[in-house]
Amino acid sequence: MERQPADAVVTVERVKIVYRDPNGRPFVAIDEASFTVRPGEKFVVIGPSGCGKTTLLKAIAGFLAPAAGRIVVAGREVHEPGPDRAVVFQDFDQLFPWRTVLGNLVYAMRAAKGVPKATAEARAHHFLKLVGIDAAAAKYPHMLSGGMKQRAAIARALALEPDILLLDEPFGALDAITRSQLQRELNEIWRRTHVTIILVTHSIQEAVYLGHRVLVLTPAPAVIREIVDTAAAEDVESPAFVALSHHLRELLVTPGQAKRDAVPAGQATE
C-alpha cells in the first residue's frame, strides 16, 4: 500500500505527462500537477480546450503513464486501468454497436468483474432505471439519441460499481435541456451512491452546479491555476453561485500567475 493522506481517495503528486509529436519531439501536456480528491467528492476539472483535461483523466484511469510524479488511488499507485475506475469518454460512440444496451452493461460487468449473467442482468436493469432509459434496454446503440447513448454509457460505468467515476465532458454535445436534466440526474445518482466523481467540463455553470471543488487548469502545458471550493453553491440563482461563476470565469480569461497567454475571452465560458 502507498502512503496517502487519510482523507484522499485519489492523490496526484507532481505529475508530468509528456506526448511525442510525429517527429518524436516531446510535448508537455501536464506539468507538476498535485492535488487530492476526497472519498465521495464531486471533483470538477475545468480549463480551455486542448489544455490537458482529458490527458489528466486518462492518467488517473491508467491509460497514460506519467513521465514524472505518481498517481495513487485507494492506496495503490496507478499503473493500468482497473474496474475501480470507470470512465465515460468524451465521444458518443463508446458502446459496442453489436450489443443491445442491456448487453453492453451485462458484458461490462461479466468481463470486468465476472458477475454471473442473471445477477448482471438484474443489476443492468437497476442502473438503466437509475438513468431513466430502462425502456430502451433491448435497443441497439444506433437506435438511441445522443443523450440516451450518454445515459447508457453512464449506466454502464455505474454498473461496475467503481470507487471512482471518471466523466469526460459527458454532456458536452447535448442540447441545453437534456444537459440540465442529466446534470440534475447525476446529482441525484450521487446522492444515492456517494460515488467519487471526477468530471471534466468546459461549462462554468456545470462546474459550479455539480462540483464540490473545481480545479482550474491553465492553457497547455497545463498547470493548476487554482482549486475553488464550490460546495456551497448549487442553487443557480443564489448570490454564491453567481459570485463563484464570476470567479471561475476570471481565472479562465486572465493570465494570472501562470507564465503564459490569457485564454481568449469566451473560449471556455458559457
Q: Which of 5, 14, 26, 27 binds ligand ATP (CB under 6 A)?
A: 27
82 part of the interface to ligand ATP, by CB under 6 A: no
Q: Which of 9, 10, 12, 29 binds ligand ATP (CB under 6 A)?
A: 29
102's CB contacts (< 8 A; 6+ apart) are 121, 124, 125, 128, 137, 138
State the maximum Cα–Cα separation within the chain, in Å, rounded to a whole number.
56
Q: How far is the CB of 210 from Mg ion (least distance, A)?
A: 17
Total chain residues near Mg ion (CB under 5 A)? 1
Which CA distances in Å does 224 have to 33, 207, 252?
6, 16, 11
203 part of the interface to ligand ATP, by CB under 6 A: no
Q: Which of 10, 15, 51, 109 binds ligand ATP (CB under 6 A)?
A: 51
55 part of the interface to ligand ATP, by CB under 6 A: yes
Nearest-5° Cα angle at 37, 150 to 82: 55
Q: Which of 52, 82, 147, 211 binds ligand ATP (CB under 6 A)?
A: 52
Dihedral (CA of 211, 105, 58, 177) sign: negative
Describe the crossing of helices 117-130 and 146-159 by its angle, rounded to 10 degrees.
130
CA distance 64 to 111: 22
Q: Which residues in 12-71 contact Mg ion (CB under 5 A)?
A: 54
Q: How far is the CB of 103 from ligand ATP (least distance, A)?
A: 29
Contact present, 76 and 24 (Cβ < 8 Å): no
Q: Which residues in 136-195 contact ligand ATP (CB under 6 A)?
A: none
109 part of the interface to ligand ATP, by CB under 6 A: no
88 part of the interface to ligand ATP, by CB under 6 A: no
Using CB under 6 A as the criterion, which residues of the chain lie in contact with ligand ATP when the complex forms? Answer: 19, 27, 29, 47, 49-55, 90, 220
